[in-house]
Amino acid sequence: MSGKRKGLGRATVHDVAKLAGVSSITVSRYFKQPGIVSQGLRDRIADAVARLDYLPNHAAGGLASTHGRIVAMVIPNISGPIFANTIQSFSDELNRHGYQLLLASSSFSIEKEESAVRAFLGWSPAALVLTSQYHSEETERLIAKANMPIVETWDYVPARNPLQVGFSHVEVGRQSVAYLHGKGYERIAFVQNSMVGDLSALDRRDGYIAQMTENGLKPWVFVPTQADPFEAGRQAINALLLRPQPAEAIIFANDNLAAGGMLAGTRAGMSFPGDCAIFGFGNYAFAELLLPSLTTIRPPAREIGEIAALRILQALGDIPVEGAVPHLNLLDCELIVRESA
């Protein structure tokens, strides 16, 4: 039993109600006011939803005239400075062609991303944009079945489908080691992100390990237990420098961690790069204002947003595809050399 309407291929609320053995009103309450539906009925409805691949059609409830001009995007951290330029440039490009952006934050959680994707698909957006290549199995299934343009940003793995616009995090890790080793540093440590779920940072770690190994150096990875990035940075400085053979250089997974480490070290009487070179990622606005200013890598955040929007507009037929160069979806990061390394 498919439970889907002939012709449209999409299950309805009535199909869910019939399979669950409840009324359509109860199914509606399950989505809008789940607290007033008993646990037993919620379980039956959830099972029917999963079996039918049901997606609530929010557009039918009031956006039917406008949902075709909406593009949905899921970002790991809306408030984080690293994604701000991507969001802004993406939105600006869409607006120029009459589209509006619908935005959600996953907080680096693949479960929250899955929930956002399911909700967004219920609105029937014109296109969907995700961040990185890492998703839950259910999200992978949903986007594989979605009949709309799908773009993954902030990552680039050519073998994947959907289309990706971004860069190689593994190469960023390699580039960081190559720069520091080229300056004569050998005891080079890597500090992972204190934010659980940042899997792209683990790709940079893997690139660091690979380059260290190729250079005949021993990888040295520190995993903070503090969630706050400034506290995690302080913890890393204490663990990596207050020992008989301290690190000569530290690559932090992002600029927040690097700033926390530098500030804590400075308060403890350390100097950078005198006692240790410090290297970040992200080129946050404060990076050049620190004392010393922070050597880091600038990801192509604005360019990612612009090109992702162009690829979607091309797929939707709003701009021509003639002359489009697919390999331009692979972008370069920029090494920003300052005082700390």
Note whether residue 6 is domain-resident.
no
161 and 305 fall within a common domain: yes
DSSP state of 274: T
Note whether residue 337 is domain-resident.
no
Mean pLDDT of 123-141: 94
162 and 310 fall within a common domain: yes
127 and 231 fall within a common domain: no
47 and 121 fall within a common domain: no
179 and 246 fall within a common domain: yes
Report the domain count for the chain: 3
Distance between CA atoms of residues 153 and 73, nearest Å:
10
Greater pLDDT, 67 or 158: 158
Residue 269 and residue 206 in contact, taking contact as beta carbons nearer than 8 Å: no
Q: Which residues pair with 297 in a beta bridge?
A: 335
Q: Categorize the per-residue pLDDT at 36 as very low, low, confident or very high, splitting at 50, 70 and 90.
A: confident
103 and 191 fall within a common domain: no
Amino acid at 5: R
Tell me what percent of the residues of the chain surpass a pLDDT of 70: 91
Greater pLDDT, 52 or 259: 259
Q: Which residues pair with 252 in a beta bridge?
A: 191
Note whether residue 3 is domain-resident.
no
Q: Which residues pair with 309 in a beta bridge?
A: none
- The CATH number given to whatever domain includes residue 224 is 3.40.50.2300
Mean pLDDT of 322-329: 60
249 and 175 fall within a common domain: yes
- Domain holding 158, by residue range, is 60-167+301-331
Lookup result for tokens 């600006």: 92
313 and 196 fall within a common domain: no
Q: Is the pLDDT of residue 64 over 80?
A: no
Distance between CA atoms of residues 124 and 138, nearest Å:
18
72 and 39 fall within a common domain: no
pLDDT at position 2 is: 39
Handedness of CA 192, 193, 195, 200 (dihedral sign): negative
pTM higher than the cut 0.75: yes
Note whether residue 338 is domain-resident.
no
User: 236: alpha, beta or left, given left = phi > 0 and alpha = psi -120 to 50?
Assistant: alpha
Note whether residue 259 is domain-resident.
yes
Pairing relationship of beta strands 334-336 and 296-298 according to DSSP bridges: antiparallel
Closest residue by Cα to residue 281 from 266, 271, 295:
295
Note whether residue 5 is domain-resident.
no
Q: Categorize the per-residue pLDDT at 325 as very low, low, confident or very high, splitting at 50, 70 and 90.
A: low
Note whether residue 325 is domain-resident.
yes
Sequence-ordered list of residues with C-beta below 8 angstroms from that of 182, at least 6 positions apart, any chain: none
221-227, Cβ contacts within 8 angstroms, sequence gap of 24 or more: 221/189, 221/190, 221/191, 221/192, 222/189, 222/190, 222/191, 222/192, 223/192, 224/191, 224/192, 224/194, 224/257, 226/194, 227/194, 227/195, 227/196
315 and 270 fall within a common domain: no
DSSP state of 133: S
Q: Is the pLDDT of residue 320 over 90?
A: no
Mean pLDDT of 232-240: 95
Distance between CA atoms of residues 144 and 139, nearest Å:
8
Least confident span in 89-103, 250-264, 317-331: 317-331
134 and 118 fall within a common domain: yes
Residue 104 and residue 123 in contact, taking contact as beta carbons nearer than 8 Å: no
Lookup result for tokens 């600038």: 298
Sequence-ordered list of residues with C-beta below 8 angstroms from that of 91, at least 6 positions apart, any chain: 101, 305
Note whether residue 246 is domain-resident.
yes
Sequence-ordered list of residues with C-beta below 8 angstroms from that of 259, at least 6 positions apart, any chain: 229, 230, 233, 280, 284, 286, 287, 290, 294
Closest residue by Cα to residue 240 from 252, 250, 230:
250
287 and 141 fall within a common domain: no
Mean pLDDT of 225-243: 93
Q: Is the pLDDT of residue 323 over 90?
A: no
